[in-house]
Every structure is written in C-alpha cells, then in structure tokens.
Amino acid sequence: MGNSVNLSSYNNDWFKPGRNFVIRTLWFITNSLFLISSLQPSSKLRVVLLRLFGAKIGKGVVIKPGVNIKYPWNLTVGNYCWIGERVWIDSLTKVQIGENCCLSQGVIIITGNHNYKEPTFDLIVNPVVLEDGCWLGVGSVVTDGVTCGTHSVLSAGSVASKDLEPYYIYRGNPAEKIRKRIINSPNKN
C-alpha cells in the first residue's frame, strides 16, 4: 500500500510555546483551578488571571466556567465578548477575537494540525482570527488558519475549515454559506 506513518520519529522541537517551563506549569495549574473548573463562578477573576499570564483582554468581556485556554499569551479578545461554558481555545499560536463576538458553549478553536502526508505527522500551526461581531454557535469548530469575517455566523455544530465571508451565515461540515446575515437597526424611542 505504500509508505506509512511512523510516529516514533515525530519531532516538534522547532515549536516554541512562547514561555518557559515554569510559566507554562504555573499556567497549567491556574487554568485547571480557575478556568476549566466550574466551581469558580467569577468571570472577572478569570479575566484578571488571563491578563496576568499575557492575554490581551478588552473591557466588558464575560468568560463562563469550564473554559480551557492553551497559552493565554497568544490570545487577544476585544471589548464586550462572551465566551461560553466549555469553550476550548487551543492557542498554540495567535488567536485574535474582535469586539462584540460570541463564542457559544462548547466551541472549539484549533490553531494546530498535523501534516498527514508526512510519515512523521509533522505539527502545523496557523493563527485564527474572529473579526468583530462574529457568532460561533454551540459546539462549532474553527480550524487553524481560518478567518471568520466581520459579523459572520457559524451555526451550531458546524466546522469552518475555510474563511467565512463577512455578514454571512454558515452551516454544516464543512461549513457552507447559507444566506446573508441582516442585523436590524436599533429601535429608537
């Protein structure tokens, strides 16, 4: 059948997580106790801890319990974003979240992958960008290298493996463009 994968020769020594072993260990403990744990109810404390470890977090950000963030020093979150329960941000490299974004429960953002064509299954990392006003529905997945255009919507359970155009709604696996997103004008009394 040809060549085969040989994980015994896997080597990602080239990958540098951006902080030394002690900082990464302290983050692992902090992440487990205060972000991943559902026993700690304070969003403000989670924001403070993320900032202490290098995340750039805007004002008015809400981070629910059960969130898992790989490396906060690779994370930027704009003002007035909501990050729901059990969101997993695998920030091996930069993850940029614009303002007024909503990441619903169980969303997964992946920045790493593997080269399935290589017998050594080499690690690949690419940044993810969520532009202003994006909404990622419950259980949706955004893969490495994807940009979700401003005010795009990724429906529940969908997988974005290619860029999403601004002001469009996407659904499915792989996500397909369904229709234009129209946002009503605010009522003026």
Q: Is residue 101 part of a domain?
A: yes
pLDDT tens sequence across 32-60: 999 999 888 899 999 999 999 999 999 99
User: The tokens of 19 are what?
Assistant: 């902080």
Place of tokens 């996500």: 175
Using pLDDT thresholds of 50, 70 and 90, give the confidence band for residue 141: very high
pLDDT tens sequence across 2-38: 789 999 999 999 999 999 999 999 999 999 999 999 8
Gap between the Cα atoms of 124 and 115, Å rounded: 7
Q: Is residue 183 part of a domain?
A: no
CATH number, domain with residue 73: 2.160.10.10
Q: pLDDT exceeding 90 applies to what percent of the chain?
A: 92
- pLDDT at residue 188 tops 80: no
Q: Is residue 187 part of a domain?
A: no
User: If DSSP states are collapsed to H, E and C, what string results for 120-169?
Assistant: CCCEEECCEEECCCCEECCCCEECCCCEECCCCEECCCCEECCCECCCEE
Structurally, how many domains does the chain consist of? 1
Q: Is residue 40 part of a domain?
A: yes
Using pLDDT thresholds of 50, 70 and 90, give the confidence band for residue 189: low
Dihedral (CA of 153, 125, 78, 102) sign:
positive
pLDDT at position 2? 72
Q: Is residue 13 part of a domain?
A: no
pLDDT at position 14? 93
Using pLDDT thresholds of 50, 70 and 90, give the confidence band for residue 1: low
Mean pLDDT, residues 112-119 taken together: 94
pTM for the complete prediction?
Answer: 0.95
Q: Is residue 82 part of a domain?
A: yes
Mean pLDDT, residues 64-76 taken together: 98
Mean pLDDT, residues 71-95 taken together: 98
Q: Is residue 7 part of a domain?
A: no
- pLDDT at residue 83 tops 90: yes
DSSP 8-class letter at 53: T
Of 61, 133, 56, residue with least CA distance to 148: 133
- Give the range of the structural domain holding residue 78, as residue numbers without chain letter: 19-178
Compute CA distances 123 → 21, 91, 166, 184, whole Å: 20, 14, 30, 43
Task: Tell me the longest C-alpha to C-alpha distance in the chain.
Answer: 71
pLDDT at position 3? 87
Q: Is residue 66 part of a domain?
A: yes
